[in-house]
Amino acid sequence: MCTDFSNTASRPEVILAWDNTGDFGPATPGTRTAGWQEALDACVAQKRDLYVKGGWGGRDAIYHVSETIRIPPTQDFRIDGGVYVVNWTGPADKDLLVVDSGMDCHFTFGILVYGRNGAALRVRPERPVPIDNFAVFVDSDIRASSIADPRPFERGKREGGAGVVFDTEKAPITHADFAFSAVLNFATCIVTPDAGRGFTLNTVSCTHLHTNADSSTLLEIGRQSRQNVFDVRIGVDQGAAEVAGVRVRGRNNDLRINTRGGFPDGQHLVFEETAAGNQANLLHREAVFTPEKFVTDRAATPTNEVTWAGAPPPIRVLEATAGEFVHVQRLFPAVLRIVGGRVTSVALVRGTETVTYPPAPERELVLSVGDTVRITSTDAPRVTAIPIKAR
């Protein structure tokens, strides 16, 4: 039995075409979104997927948009297509593309070009999905090619604007997958939520996360971000100044960072005060991992852990003092060697538990990240920290 798919209504997808050869496009009457919003509205009304036409060469397949494209709350919906450009020409305070709640949705976008103060792509679940009837973005994925400021070769400070914003003010984003070929040249390239509902159990990857914007940040991981996997390859272009790579405020995330450099010392990876329990593996160009060159640790709780490529950091002699000397092991495990002096007690504190050791001429303790050692003495011993390469 043959089925005739030549009829527009029987096709499984609505076609949006930059050259007006599809169902919608720049010539759609009254459109301010080059046919995007009208095509999405038709998908809802006709219960069909959306296919967006691209084209070879990157010069013709361009959708000029002056009003925010809004993908409504949806379930079991797919957006696919070729490679194309969506170029923002609208107001400075509006976003280019906003995604509402989604469940079992699969969205693939082309190149988003945006140079204003909002976001090129904002994922903001707010209204309930149509079947399960609650607000969430879950069990779904979003993929995009490059998301870029319109000045790819112009170094300088961007006063505002972001490439990708995950916004959980109204509802959570969880168990979802986000993958970008490149995000570049924004004041902040990718932002996960610092307030609102949870951003949890997601995967965020970017093959090339980079910038020529002075005083910018590539990835901000906010306080509501927990148990996510971040896989990014980062770098600075054209000698841009004061760029931070990955700033972390969240908890218990898996960070996979491959850096080609260009950052100030300590700015490849920054653990801010609220960061705790995060695990980072850092790939870099150097023969030896020097912590202060790559990492700044401001965390109030010393449970963030770093592994690395290359040889371990140098052995370090600590400036122990008489009386009570306290050492907290941060970022990586180490052997603490205590020799000489007049030591009266050594205590190892892990969480709520304390192990006390009697005085000895020399002692070695294997410390995990977060362990605290308290040495009491009348004459300070020589204390040496020997980093352990754990991966």
Which residues face 155 on adjacent strands? none
Output the pLDDT for position 4: 40
Q: What is the CATH number of domain 316-387?
A: 2.60.120.10
Q: How confident is the model at residue 57 (pLDDT cuts 50, 70, 90)?
A: confident
Output the pLDDT for position 9: 63
pLDDT in tens, 299-328: 999 999 999 999 999 999 999 999 999 999
Dihedral over Cα of 19, 24, 29, 35: its sign: negative
- What is the arithmetic mean of pLDDT over 342-347? 96
Whether pLDDT at 1 is above 50: no
Output the pLDDT for position 7: 56
pLDDT in tens, 131-163: 999 999 999 999 999 999 998 888 999 989 999
- What is the arithmetic mean of pLDDT over 181-191? 98
Q: How confident is the model at residue 390 (pLDDT cuts 50, 70, 90)?
A: confident
Three-class DSSP category at 101? coil
Whether pLDDT at 120 is above 60: yes
Output the pLDDT for position 3: 36
* Percentage of residues of the chain with pLDDT beyond 70: 98
Output the pLDDT for position 2: 36
Cβ-proximal residues to 19 (8 Å cutoff; 6+ apart), any chain: 25, 53, 55, 60
* Percentage of residues of the chain with pLDDT beyond 90: 94
- What is the arithmetic mean of pLDDT over 289-306? 97
pLDDT in tens, 72-109: 999 999 999 999 999 999 999 999 999 999 999 999 99
Token reading at 178: 């986000």
Whether pLDDT at 233 is above 50: yes
Output the pLDDT for position 153: 87
Residue whose C-alpha is closest to residue 271's, from 239, 231, 244: 244
- Among all chains, which residue has been given the structure tokens 């980072």? 280
Output the pLDDT for position 58: 78
The mean predicted confidence, pLDDT, of the chain is 96
Q: How confident is the model at residue 253 (pLDDT cuts 50, 70, 90)?
A: very high
DSSP string, 39-85: HHHHHHHHT-EEEE---TTSSS-EEEESS-EEEPSEES-EEEE---E
Output the pLDDT for position 5: 40
DSSP string, 17-50: -TTS-SSBSTTSTT-SSTTHHHHHHHHHHHT-EE
- Amino acid residing at 328: V
Cβ-proximal residues to 291 (8 Å cutoff; 6+ apart), any chain: 306, 313, 331, 332
Give the residue ranges of DSSP H helices in 140-248: none
Judge whether 231 and 256 are in contact, CB under 8 Å.
Answer: yes
Output the pLDDT for position 152: 85
Judge whether 155 and 214 are in contact, CB under 8 Å.
Answer: yes
Output the pLDDT for position 8: 63
- What is the arithmetic mean of pLDDT over 356-382? 96
Q: Where are the domains of the chain?
A: 91-308, 316-387
- What is the arithmetic mean of pLDDT over 172-190? 98
Output the pLDDT for position 29: 98
Which residues face 320 on adjacent strands? none
Whether pLDDT at 59 is above 90: no
Q: Which residue has the higher pLDDT, 390 or 47?
A: 47
